[in-house]
Structure 1
């Protein structure tokens, strides 16, 4: 028996919904980490200016945060707690969900060099934002390690008496300040490169804002 014309579904099939690239927890922790790291960097520059490690290197007050040493310290410590707790949540959820292994591993020097050369020649594809190339994997793993060094060297400076072993592992108080400064400089370089990559691939920013 023929199906009545009125019951025939003539509508085109619905297009499959695009999958989520970054789940909500990734986006929230990413932006909180970015806020904390940027706040610590700008306030840290003001703290550094109060007692420079390298007399030839100082930062213009206009690009620092806090207005004065006491204000900068308050901003710095507030952002520190946000960075530590939010960073722990980010790492724990990445490990528990298996996302860390899927997104960041495996990675090898050969793959990093290959993708880096492809990026320099404009041949590195960004069609699939859910997949990280080797350069991205290395950069994200690097910045996680760099932030850990920043926190540990900061503790060696802030609580030097309470954490003598950590202080000695850093080579003493003065060397801990140098380690902290170098780690901050590397983070600033990462942020600059990261922003440049976002400018080249604006879809990556949209994905981190809306998830897909």
Structure 2
């Protein structure tokens, strides 16, 4: 028969009945980042259609933003500044407060694989929303890196002459466009998966809206 001590080590943690899960600054920067990323993605599709990277593939006009190339560029650059400044604020506050280390580290391939299998088999606990599982940690670290690549590749396209080193690191102007497109595609895939996970655990949406 298992001892109470053994049971406490294996049982999933219970969700605390009170207290803040996400402070106000996390919620505000999260939603602003989400808004900026979506606006940039939709307007970016319209910009892409004006000069497709992959010939024969374009996005339906109905799901793009801006109406025309000039309008799409205005939306894109406006959202870009929001994403850059709000993203920097988000990262700075996470690092200064120590939240980045507490929430996202450590993470290992073995832990990600274990939690991924547990998620597929319906055995992954979401009892305590304060604690991110390894799959969540990996996904959030990935999206931060992906957004950085999006911004840098976008700079290499927008200011190709002013940032020659960045352009060359991307493999040239044309390759920078491919990198930007691939990073955008990965961002779209992340959003789809993220929304699916929120649908499975709706309490996580409430926590990001009201903080608890």
In structure 1, C-alpha distance between the alignment counterparts of 2:56 and 2:211, rounded to whole Å: 44
Q: Tell me by how many angstroms 1:17 deviates.
A: 6.2
Match of 1:58 in 2: 58
1:91 is paired with a residue whose SS is helix
Match of 2:185 in 1: 185
* CA-to-aligned-CA distance 1:23-65 (integer Å, 9 cap, x gap): 0000000000000000000000000000001113210000000
In structure 1, C-alpha distance between the alignment counterparts of 2:156 and 2:140, rounded to whole Å: 25
2:101 is paired with a residue whose SS is helix
Unaligned stretches of 5+ in structure 2? Answer: 1-15
Equivalences for 1:1-212 in 2 at 5 Å? 18-212=18-212
1:55 is paired with a residue whose SS is coil
Larger radius of gyration: 1
Number of equivalent positions: 197
In structure 1, C-alpha distance between the alignment counterparts of 2:57 and 2:102, rounded to whole Å: 41
Q: Tell me by how many angstroms 1:19 deviates.
A: 1.1
TM-score of the aligned structures, taking structure 1 as reference length: 0.92
Unaligned stretches of 5+ in structure 1? Answer: 1-15
1:117 is paired with a residue whose SS is helix
In structure 1, C-alpha distance between the alignment counterparts of 2:94 and 2:146, rounded to whole Å: 18
In structure 2, C-alpha distance between the alignment counterparts of 1:157 and 1:132, rounded to whole Å: 35
Q: CA RMSD in A?
A: 0.8
